[in-house]
Structure 1
Amino acid sequence: MLNDKNILLCVTGGIAVFKAAALTSKLTQAGAAVKVLMSDSAQKFVTPLTFQALSRNDVYTETFDEKNPEVISHIDLADWADLILIAPATANVIGKLANGIADDMLTTTLLAATAPVWIAPAMNVHMYSHPAVQRNMDQLIGFGYEFLEPSEGFLACGYVGKGRLEEPETIVARLSDYFSGTAAKPLAGRNIVVTAGPTREKIDPVRFISNHSTGKMGYALARQAAALGADVKLISGPVQIPAPPGVSIIKVESAAEMYEEALKAFPTADAVVKTAAVADYTPAVYHKQKVKKQPGSQVLELERTKDILMALGNEKQQHQVLVGFAAETEKLDEYAIGKLQRKNADMIVANNVTVSGAGFGTDTNIVTIYKKDGSKMELPQMSKQQVAKVILDEVTAMLNGNNRP
């Protein structure tokens, strides 16, 4: 399925460059037209001549080495590609792309590209799990880049773990599926509703009650659900994150507004994943003018907001999947299981927000998934995008009738 497809292979510096040579050969054998762009460090491992022989095309290494005076090379390459593949992708190039740095031929070309960009990381296991690398990958996912997760195994540095460049045969198969339109979209045709972010409960025109939620987990779930083929409706409180591509977003501010939109969207939803940190209380009185400072203490009267998860649980039909989140500081099992049972949810995703790497505003999370069938899955620290994938795999299995409570 790669006949007549133009693949721009960007090769960055790491021992996995030898696999990129094999990948070039297999892409060419599959019928693709392959042009290779190498970073300086990649050339320390394998010479450009190797890739030239395997691709039967010029290899590009220098921004100002204009092989054809009629075009600007990096713009021409970006326009030529049907798909751009970075393999292997180092932590360095991932960081540069996430921050818009274009200081060589490779990054300059990528910044000018409008074609789909796929990234196949390869690096030491500890580098891969570093919060800065995970943050940069999440940033690129937000830009619409696709990642080919590295596999686990023996690494050149001597460690055993996640960080090996995916095998060339697997990459070629993924590309073939993509161009043939048969890439796995297990949520195609499904309507998924995600709630995300905090709510703001107004006291007066300048003050409100809120919490530390940034919406990162919810936005990661919305982005991942769309990538899996779902029609996604994201009901979002006030956050500073751009809307994920391909997602319909509804912006709300208060708990009452989120309640209204969630209940409105629920009847046509196949699944709801409620990550929003909704205020439990709202001021009993809203003051239309700023409340002025007075001598002595001030008492703020609060009243309960409507429980969105409870309301959805009461309305839930047999074919629907309802997922709630529990941000706790103690007794994780007790509170999560209690919430699961009281609110008729199918799954509760709980975390202890006092644990490093799992709280509000982080790029990683450490969660435990509790299901209605009594099962429990404890996940290690992962990027929020990886956590989103695990959660949606469970949702997909439930929607397909597997492990249905």
Structure 2
Amino acid sequence: MIRDPSAFDETLSALRRYVRERLIPREAEVERLDEVPADVVEDLATRGFFGWSIPEAWGGAGMTTEELVLGAMELSQASVAFRARVGTNTGIGSEALVADGTPAQQARYLPLLASGELTGAFALTEPDAGSDATALKTSAVRDGDHYVLNGTKCFITNAPIAGLFTVMARTDPSDRSASGISAFLVERATPGLSTGEPYRKMGQAGSPVSEVHLIDCRVPATSIIGGAEGMGFKTAMKVLNKQRIHLAALCTGPAIRMLDEAVAWTCQRRQFGQPVAGFQLVQALIADCQTEIQAARALILQTARQRDDGEDVAMQASICKYFASEMCGRVADRCVQMLGGTGFIQGHPIERFYRDVRLFRLYEGTSQIHQLNIAKRTIAAAGHRLGD
């Protein structure tokens, strides 16, 4: 659903120019510094990037799912660090508040997230709870008008720079199912909350990721998202269903960029008296990349429209994330192959993207978890049951 097609076309055109003229020229700097420079962050905030999916009532752009994924496909054609810097605010860092927050919680935090004054982080994963999210051990014990949180989260995007954490914790120790989990809003300044040193990673330089430690971290009872215990896992699933569509779009942008770079290089690079792009086996690689990119784009847009229409897209969101992340990895591999040795040398965008996009197949659910989810939902939809 695009609310004003003409105006949104202008928005996308302006975004496309901004990515090419302002962000892509800064990619090498981001890689070298391992951070997005402050002036770029300020510019992104001024231009409203942090509030894309936050409702207009709270200072955001109020983008529909379709608008969000189209914007994401453009923004992610620059280094993944740029979209990661704003991505938690336009996705998992704010979506729990948008979906299930109380009016008071929304009024307090969403304007700060939309403006970029506050960076959000979504703290679900733990050392022993990743794909099996219901196995989380972080506890939240009621103490009068407060809860005391204890536990460790890991692999949390933007944790080192976040000012607000959405923390999943178990409020009912006797209930080891999803029903015992609640979602809490925890500000960085809260005593007992700390973050670890940023991980040294294979790729995605400029996107800080670290552990989050909660040691006798005392938060008001009003910090529970939605004001009720036991709703945290349902909130998390709402967040992830939308974010998986969003992430699928963020996988597609880098694939578009890599193919553009590979086509430009193979058309100017000559071997055996002709451009490398003139060889049919290279053309086959180009065709496979383009076909898969177009398939991913069509799938993502279809699912985004279904979500905007109010349909249950839990399975479709998994399909989007699974297909687009795997597609991006295949495109990256083909593009390195087309560039030969040049694609293996640090400093070329394709070499950097090759490392950066490997993570796509791991976070927001590994490809294998999505395969299981898709299969189980397909079997259930056919009216069959596995086991008791």
**Where on the TM-score scale, by shorter chain, does this alignment land: which range?**
under 0.3
Structure of greater relative contact order (alpha carbons < 8 Å, 6+ residues apart): 2
Structure with greater helix percent: 2
Relative to the length of structure 1, the TM-score reads 0.24
Higher strand share: 1
TM-score normalized by the length of structure 2: 0.25
Give 1 or 2 for the bigger CA radius of gyration.
1
